[in-house]
Structure 1
Amino acid sequence: MKKDQLTSRRRALLAGAAALGAAGAAAGLFGLGAGEEAVRAPAPAAPGPPARRPLRPSAYRLQPLTGYGPPRAVPGRPPVRRRPLLSVSGIGRTMVLTFDDGPDPRYTPDILDTLRAYDVRAMFFVCGEMAAAHPHLLVRMADEGHVVGNHTWSHPLLTRLTGARIRTEMERTCDVIEDTYGERPRWFRAPYGAWNRAAFRIGAELGMEPLAWTVDTLDWTEPGTRTIVDRVADGAAPGVVVLSHDAGGDRSQSVRALRSYLPELLDAGYRITVPSRLQV
């Protein structure tokens, strides 16, 4: 058999093995707003890889998301929702930290440094124009295991835009995230929390789930570091999604607040994690 024929056969075998492994991957649950039902992934058609002992959160979080291992399975299109997801489902005292409007080289690196110091992951809902200007920060987010979501290109009020303009805002940002982060986003968040039917529909067509928040720190008003810390502490509960910002103004209070409330949450027994999208 010729050398290139052997190479082709080897590639085919490797691709088949990767596909079988992806088919057996398990998926979690979403936290839904009122009136929604959680959706479970269908049973896998073939057994997955051998069971392994569960990894500690820290052992998984800092694994790079791109550049290693078999290709990821492409998720199916999510349902078109009528309201965003407000919380997440998980075992025990699970919370999610989210940061909007970045990345900003003045504040995002400090936030990433703090998250790395405590070995946790967070979600960053980025604006496309900011991501395009600072792609190295998205590369770092990917390398350190954070999840990047779509926060539109220029942070407009979606309820005042046509469907075509909403699609452009979202799609351009999806493309930038894919080019720099390594995969297309699976989550989106409407600027100002202003959702409409077109935004839900277009987001679903682009393969994204809408995620809102449970606790708003209102850090964009610059209320003071202690106030931000208190708002997170007062709102802490299983399944909570916390909204903060790493761009859009002076976010030095947000940076300092994270350094304070993150160890407090961990000491209180909370597990800071990121949600999983169902493979549907």
Structure 2
Amino acid sequence: MKYTKLMSMSLLVLMLAACGDVETKTPTSAPTQQEVDEEVDDDKGTEEVNEANEAEVSGEETAPAKPLYTLNEANWSFKPIANAPSKVVLLTIDDAPDKRSLEMAKTLKSLNAPAIFFVNGHFLDSDEKKAVLKEIHNMGFAIGNHTQTHADLKKLTEEEQRAEIMQVSETIEAIIGEKPKFFRAPFGSNTDFSKALVKEQGMLLMNWTYGYDWESKYQDANALKDIMVNTEYLTNGANLLMHDRVWTAEALGGIVEGLRAKGYGMIDPATIQGVTGQ
């Protein structure tokens, strides 16, 4: 019996010692940024962005994201803050929700690719379209203001501009429970008044770096996919403009896959500096 007790106590001591070794191991330090090649670091960062996108587009509630990107108004692209990945693009869809927005949102969600859907208020004139917008928002996509009637703001009075911007913002808030955080003027046509109003409303004003789907020669899925991925304007942080169009919806999956094949991640709009709450 004494021998058995001694053996049991010895085993217990050994087990506790082993547990202590596991708990007190010091993790290997990660290499510093200077110790890794810039291209490798970009690839690693792109993987991290894509992993983060999976949670964002799933529609699951997550903690507020830290600002990782800031807008560069020189070409409306995005620059990384601190150590955020630089090889990324922002996907945006204008004229939502016309005919293909829900289909496009489902394509993007299946690919874990976040985007901003910029809304025209005149597309929200039925309960069916309001339900579509709510569903897109519930999928985890950001909703932006693209004015009520897609008017050229430079041709309107200040009161007319206010109505174009405020009416759609109020409608969006009534549908999804929050105000839009982004604004894009039709045709990229802004005025001093509209810029001030957008800022007052806590929205980030943006245009785009490049887009092609309104040009006749790119109103074809294959041609559009090719130019969106292979254009000379594709640079780090590019702000990609697309629209709710049949050919764009058909090309969208290939565009995302083509960009990723080139090593580009997708910016989560919630990580852009300057939107409400940041």
Output the TM-score relative to the length of structure 1.
0.68
Q: Specify the alignment match of 1:123 in structure 2.
A: 116
TM-superposition CA deviations, 1:181-212 (whole Å, max 9, x none): 22101110111111111110111122211111
Q: Specify the alignment match of 2:221 in structure 1.
A: 225
Q: Specify the alignment match of 1:76 in structure 2.
A: none
Q: Judge conservation of contact 2:49–2:266 (CA < 8 Å) in 1.
A: no
Q: Specify the alignment match of 1:110 in structure 2.
A: 103
Once the two structures are overlaid, the 10-residue window that deviates more, 254-263 or 131-140, is 131-140
Q: What amino acid sits opposite 1:225 in the alignment?
A: A
Q: Judge conservation of contact 2:50–2:266 (CA < 8 Å) in 1.
A: no
Q: Specify the alignment match of 1:204 in structure 2.
A: 199
Q: What amino acid sits opposite 1:264 in the alignment?
A: G
User: 1:272 and 1:131, CA in 2 relative to 1: closer, same or farther beyond 3 A?
Assistant: farther
Q: What amino acid sits opposite 1:195 in the alignment?
A: N
Poorly superposed stretches of 4+, deviation over 4 Å: none
Quick one: which of 241, 250, 254 aligns to 1:256? 250
Q: By how many angstroms is 1:119 displaced?
A: 1.1
SS of residue paired to 2:92: strand
Q: Specify the alignment match of 1:154 in structure 2.
A: 149
Q: What amino acid sits opposite 1:239 in the alignment?
A: G
Q: What amino acid sits opposite 2:117 in the alignment?
A: F
User: 1:270 and 1:145, CA in 2 relative to 1: closer, same or farther beyond 3 A?
Assistant: same
Once the two structures are overlaid, the 10-residue window that deviates more, 255-264 or 150-159, is 255-264
Unaligned runs of 5+ in 2: 1-47, 65-70
Written as runs of structure 1 = structure 2, the 5 A alignment for 1:234-273 is 234=231, 235-246=233-244, 251-273=245-267
Q: What amino acid sits opposite 2:221 in the alignment?
A: T
Give the number of equivalent residue pairs: 212
What is the aligned-residue identity percentage? Answer: 25
Written as runs of structure 1 = structure 2, the 5 A alignment for 1:56-71 is 56-64=51-59
Quick one: which of 73, 77, 96 aligns to 1:87? 77
Q: By how many angstroms is 1:177 displaced?
A: 1.0
Written as runs of structure 1 = structure 2, the 5 A alignment for 1:1-150 is 56-64=51-59, 86-90=76-80, 91-104=85-98, 106-133=99-126, 134-150=129-145
User: 1:148 and 1:220, CA in 2 relative to 1: closer, same or farther beyond 3 A?
Assistant: farther
Cα distance in structure 2, aligned partners of 1:115 and 1:226: 18
Q: What amino acid sits opposite 1:122 in the alignment?
A: A
Output the TM-score relative to the length of structure 2.
0.69
Q: What amino acid sits opposite 2:195 in the alignment?
A: F
Q: Specify the alignment match of 2:26 in structure 1.
A: none
User: 1:69 and 1:243, CA in 2 relative to 1: closer, same or farther beyond 3 A?
Assistant: closer
SS of residue paired to 1:101: strand
Q: Judge conservation of contact 1:219–1:228 (CA < 8 Å) in 2.
A: no
Q: By how many angstroms is 1:63 displaced?
A: 4.4
Q: By how many angstroms is 1:222 displaced?
A: 6.1
Q: By how many angstroms is 1:231 displaced?
A: 2.1
Cα distance in structure 1, aligned partners of 2:54 and 2:221: 31
Q: Judge conservation of contact 2:79–2:86 (CA < 8 Å) in 1.
A: no
